[in-house]
Amino acid sequence: MNNQEPFYNNWRVLLLVLAIIGSIALITVSYSDGEIRIGSNLKYGLDLDGGSWLQVQLQGAVAQIDADPGKIIQVEMGKLLDDPEIRIEDVSPGSITFITSKETTQKTIDSFDFGTSTVTGAPNGTTRVSLQTSKEFLIQKYLKDNLNADVKQIPGRSPTFEIRKAVTEDSLNGILQNVDGKVIPPFREGVTKETRDETKTRLENKLNPIALKQITITPIGDNYLLIDLPGVSIEEARKLTLTPGKFEIRIQVKGNETAHILYGDQIIGVGVPQKEKGEAWGVSFELSDDGAKALRDAAIQYGAVTNPSAHYLSMYLDDKLVFDAPLDPGLAKNIQSVPVRSMVATTGTGEQGQLKAKELQLHLRAGALPVQVREAGSGEVPAPLGQRFKEQVAIAGLIALILVAVVVALRYKQRNIFIPMLSTSFSEVIIILGIAVLFGLQLDLATIAGIIAVIGTGVDHLIIITDEVLAGGAMPSDKVYKSRIAKAFTIIFAAAATVLVAMLPLIVAMDSSALKGFAQITIAGVFIGVFIARPAYAVIIQGMLVEEPGREFADEE
């Protein structure tokens, strides 16, 4: 290259080569269970792999509510103290005082959780109770108790609440009528963005670790989630998604009699199925401090620490037995002196043991979602049809590459031009697939379309570079070459910026996972092309043309 180093030693070319090698490693090499495995790491969506999808609606309501705090205390305390004649003496901001004919104590009043209380005697044998509380807290407490639902206050000027249960405006007004309350329009069915995101996270934690394929959950507005489950039948999808269940651990007392120890909300961590002892599969899980103490107390009380085989621990999901086993002798000995938070449930050996471990992991993660979900739509792509789509997409991609090759070859008719051009374009595809593996992106019809679009725009940019270099029919001097390349990259950067601006709304504003996947792949392809592939091609094409017999530098007039 006219006393310059060979083009293949240029750092831009070396960067491209390293990116290709790294991408191939990401696509083909994986490490798990202490072993290096060779195989495809590409993840396909249900379009290409078959499976099912569910659209679920989150059940809840958001409403601004007003009610008489004194009336709430009168109604609720009247029921709790069995005193329909409760008299409200004073209602002030932050406190309410009432008189009851029943004898009571501060401990009793505080146990009702309406606020901090002060209890004193009053004339005629009555009792005066002062509560340090607030109007918003009392409305929240009233709704929670009467709806048997979780109720969250939404910060703001007016008392607005999220009710995590399906409820109508009319039914809510009916409940509030007893405390001179009402719903202040507008009333909205649905949940807050925070609750939607919390539900999404819990579903992801529950579904993805036990799935053979990557399960994606995409929010649609504030009230819906779209769940793609590749490789999962529609029946299994409904079972996994719509029945989170109530998980409980009980201990065998005597015979078939069992006693409650804890519920699933005391399980704060669940591991992945793995071989624990020899060839035995198991699932590790971690209890909260309260859960560990409850297990220890029950094991001591019923004799499981001294005779584990006679006092099995049983796990139930929706009152159905899903697993039971005695305490390990070592664990039984340790648990006598200190609560143990981390433990392992072993399920057996071989494929059957592994399958049971996966099922148990699902059960351990089956705690209640923040809100109930209802199926709003569903669909299924049979595995054979997904395989057919995959073959068709592969054929379409191959045809696209061939057609591009034919057009480029007819235009330039020189192997040292169209071979580097096509090789650069193909390398971009490899790097994009490596990026998809690195960031866990699924390949579906939309993302494949994005890759094909990247190929087209990439070849356009390479043609711009080539035409600028060959303007005038001869290779220019190095100074003029750099000037022409700078001009070509000005055009390329402007075109890339236009693509980025066009794709960003699909990522930021659109809820559809398909459109987001298309935009993500397209943006990744633009960055790879502009910062890795195009600069390398500019160096390669200069070196290839200079080294061609009969080629020489020519100064631009």
Per-residue pLDDT, 553: 40
- What is the structure's pLDDT at 180? 93
| pLDDT over 70 (residue 195) | yes
Report residue 557's pLDDT band, with 50, 70 and 90 as the boundaries.
Answer: very low
pLDDT at 34: 66
Decide the pairing of beta strands 442-443 and 43-44: parallel
pLDDT in the model for residue 161: 94
Kindly tell me if the per-residue pLDDT of 525 is higher than 70.
Answer: yes
Coil/strand/helix, residue 462? helix
Question: Which of 318, 509, 369 has the alpha carbon at shortest distance from 60?
Answer: 369
Q: Average pLDDT for residues 514-534, to the nearest whole number?
A: 88
pTM above threshold 0.85? no
Encoding tokens for residue 542? 């200069």
260 strand-pairing partners: 250
Q: What is the pLDDT of residue 511?
A: 56
**157: pLDDT strictly greater than 60:** yes
The 224-230 sheet, strands edge to edge: 216-220, 224-230, 51-58, 373-381
Q: Which residue has the tokens 């080569």?
A: 17
Residue 365 has a pLDDT of 66
Instruction: Outline where 320-382 has alpha helix (H).
Output: 329-334, 350-364
pLDDT in tens, 246-276: 678 888 887 788 888 887 777 777 777 888 7
Task: Supply the pLDDT for residue 210.
Answer: 47
For the chain, the average pLDDT equals 82
Confidence category of residue 175, pLDDT binned at 50, 70, 90: very high
| Residues of the chain above pLDDT 90, percent | 21
138-165 mean pLDDT: 86
Q: Both tokens of residue 494?
A: 């402007």
Find the helix or strand (DSSP H, E) in which 427 lies.
helix 415-438
Higher-scoring residue by pLDDT: 106, 317: 106
Q: What burial letters (b/e) apply to 150-180, b meaning 16+ CB within 10 Å?
A: bbbeeeeeebbbbbbbbbebeebeebbeebe
pLDDT in tens, 433-473: 999 888 878 788 888 888 888 888 888 888 888 888 777 55
Interatomic CA distance for residues 472 and 556, integer angstroms:
8
Q: Which domains does the chain have, with CATH numbers?
A: 7-49+382-554 (1.20.1640.10), 55-59+194-211+213-231 (no CATH), 62-189 (no CATH), 245-368 (3.30.1360.200)
pLDDT score recorded for residue 5: 67
Do the Cβ atoms of 423 and 417 come closer than 8 Å?
no
Q: What is the structure's pLDDT at 212? A: 42
pLDDT digits (tens, 9 = 90+) for 278-293: 778 888 888 888 888 8
Is 106 in a helix, a strand, or coil?
helix
Amino acid identity, position 481: Y
Burial tier of 111 (Cβ tally within 10 Å: 0-12, 13-18, 19+): exposed
Nearest residue to 176 (alpha-carbon basis) of 195, 151, 213? 151
Phi, psi of 530 (to 5 degrees): -70, -40
- pLDDT at residue 554, as a whole number: 42
Q: Are the beta carbons of 58 and 196 closer than 8 angstroms? A: yes
pLDDT band (50, 70, 90) for residue 164 = confident
Sequence-ordered list of residues with C-beta below 8 angstroms from that of 466, at least 6 positions apart, any chain: 412, 417, 421, 541
Q: Is it the case that residue 202 has pLDDT exceeding 50?
A: yes
pLDDT above 80: residue 370? no
Q: Which of 32-36, 158-162, 179-183, 328-332 has the lowest mean pLDDT?
A: 32-36
Q: Which two tokens stand for residue 264?
A: 């699933």
Q: Is it the case that residue 222 has pLDDT exceeding 90?
A: no
Sheet holding 320-325, edge to edge: 257-263, 247-254, 313-317, 320-325
Q: For residue 475, what pLDDT is reported? A: 62
In tens, the pLDDT along 375-432 reads 898 888 776 666 777 777 778 778 877 888 888 888 888 888 888 888 998 899 999 9
Give the pLDDT of residue 203: 82
Indicate if the pLDDT at residue 552 is higher than 60: no
pLDDT of 13: 92
Give the position of tokens 């992991």: 361
Name the token pair of 306.
């001294």
